[in-house]
Chain A
Amino acid sequence: MRQSYGLPAPIDLSIRLYTLLLAAYPGRFRAEYGHHMAQVFRDVCRRDYRRRGLAGMTLLWARTSLDLLRTALEEHIERGIEMNREKFIRWSGWALMAGAVLFAVGLIIGSFDSFDMDPIGGVDAFYEITQAVGLTLGQVLFVFGLLGLRTGYTGRSRSLGARLLLLAVISSIVSFGGLLAMSSIEAAWQIWAAGFLAMTLTLAVFGIVAVRRRVFSRWNFAPILAGVGVPLLFGVGTVGVGTVSGTAPEWASLVAVVLTAFGLSVVGYRMQAEASRTAVTT
């Protein structure tokens, strides 16, 4: 970039100075476009010097300084936003994975509780507390994870996918509200179950969108896995609050829970693996 090719001194000096000033841009942008910007500047320098001499160069520098200041600031702001988005998507991917594990562990360990509806405590306290903590923390992480999923993948899944993910986020918040109200409102269990059912159902439909539009770079079927188990279980029977199974067969409940947790984990894994790409492209 420092070849002078016998250029007049004002042009040579200008190019050297502009090349130095390119340091004002973020590193990634500079690495990608710095050489081309310097090349364009060199061409414009030659043209303006040929046409109007030093007066032309002065005008060019006045324009270029403003352009450099404004666009360097824009690129830094954009890079900052990208970094924040990238971090948010990556962390929400981890949240979805952790939430899936807590959800599965909570429900499976909770299923060993021999008295479904008794208050927390007594001989089954460990199972009950594990279930309450697992489900509540898991649900908080689902809300965070689904928000990240929506942030990262709205552009690729278009308006239908974006609406489905918004519905999934709202449903997960409703479900969380139900969990929090368990000790005070009788219908809280139904609120939790309805919210969770809506969350998984919308995820399953989002999975169809993901497969059709290749929303993730691979494993686009994962949201279907995450979303299909619970609605199927609700379809064939009802899932109990205190046990995994309710009136559905024990093995079917276990399969549904494992399937949901596995699907959500895979979605979370894809999110954190693709975070840098999705933060830029959406």
Chain B
Amino acid sequence: MAEVAQSPESFLPLTQAVFHILLALADGEKHGYAVMQEIEDATEGRVQMGPGTLYGSIKRMLAAGLIEESDDRPDPTLDDERRRYYRQTGLGRKVLREEAERMAELMALARRKHVWSGAGSRSILT
């Protein structure tokens, strides 16, 4: 499925769910619940993803080649082997970087227009 070769820019802007999933996988592979947990922790509970949103997004991201399934298990004895682990692909990393740059440019524009000072910010997504 990952054979679809598209430029990273063609995926932008990302949906909130896809952006958060890619971000959650930025520091290593995770299974679905760990991704969900990471997103809730990182956003202090402001983004709570349901199983349908999570796996619907995962399905589309796998088809687009942004993430892939991983066969590795951190510790098979401690984990249910039926859990699926996911990790970013090279394309996924590029897309995430492009999206972060796009957001940074928007923030810079907001700062120039005195809409946002950048101090005491909660989250760029809220």
Which residues of A pack against B, CB within 8 Å?
Answer: 25, 29, 32-33, 35-41, 43-44, 63-64, 66-68, 70-72, 74-75, 155-156, 158, 213-214, 280-282
Q: How far is A54 from B4 in the complex, measured between Cα atoms in Å?
A: 46
Residues of B within 8 A of A68 (CB): 50, 52
Interchain CB contact (< 8 A) of B5 among A35, A63, A75, A213: A213
> Which A-B residue pairs are the 4 nearest by beta carbons?
A67-B50, A71-B52, A37-B51, A33-B55
Q: What interface size band does chain B fall in?
A: 20 to 34
Q: How far is A236 from B59 in the complex, measured between Cα atoms in Å?
A: 52
B82 at the interface (CB under 8 A from A): yes
User: How far does the Cβ of B78 sit from chain A's closest Cβ, in whole Å?
Assistant: 15
24 A-B pairs within 8 Å (CB atoms) are namely A33-B55, A33-B58, A35-B82, A37-B52, A37-B54, A37-B55, A39-B32, A40-B32, A63-B48, A64-B51, A67-B50, A67-B52, A67-B53, A68-B50, A71-B50, A72-B52, A75-B52, A155-B4, A155-B6, A156-B4, A156-B5, A158-B6, A281-B1, A281-B63
Residues of B within 8 A of A72 (CB): 52
Q: A35-B82, A155-B6, A281-B3 are in contact. Are A40 and B54 (CB under 8 A)?
A: yes
User: How far does the Cβ of A5 sit from chain B's closest Cβ, in whole Å?
Assistant: 12
A39 touches B33 (CB 8 A): yes
User: How far does the Cβ of B70 sit from chain A's closest Cβ, in whole Å?
Assistant: 14
Interchain CB contact (< 8 A) of B56 among A39, A41, A71: A71
B84 at the interface (CB under 8 A from A): yes
A67 touches B51 (CB 8 A): yes
Residues of A within 8 A of B59 (CB): 29, 32-33
Residues of A within 8 A of B82 (CB): 35, 39
Closest chain B residue to A66, Cβ basis: B50
Interface string of B43-66 (1 = CB under 8 A from A): 000001111111110110001000
Residues of A within 8 A of B63 (CB): 280-281
Q: How far is A213 from B56 in the complex, measured between Cα atoms in Å?
A: 29
Closest chain B residue to A34, Cβ basis: B55
A74 touches B56 (CB 8 A): yes
Q: How far is A156 from B4 in the complex, measured between Cα atoms in Å?
A: 5
Closest chain B residue to A73, Cβ basis: B52
* Residues 15 to 70 of chain B near chain A (Cβ within 8 Å): 32-33, 36, 48-56, 58-59, 63
B52 touches A70 (CB 8 A): yes
Interface string of B68-80 (1 = CB under 8 A from A): 0000000000001
Closest chain B residue to A213, Cβ basis: B5
Residues of B within 8 A of A33 (CB): 55, 58-59
B97 at the interface (CB under 8 A from A): no
User: How far does the Cβ of A173 sit from chain B's closest Cβ, in whole Å?
Assistant: 27
User: How far does the Cβ of A185 sit from chain B's closest Cβ, in whole Å?
Assistant: 42
Closest chain B residue to A41, Cβ basis: B51
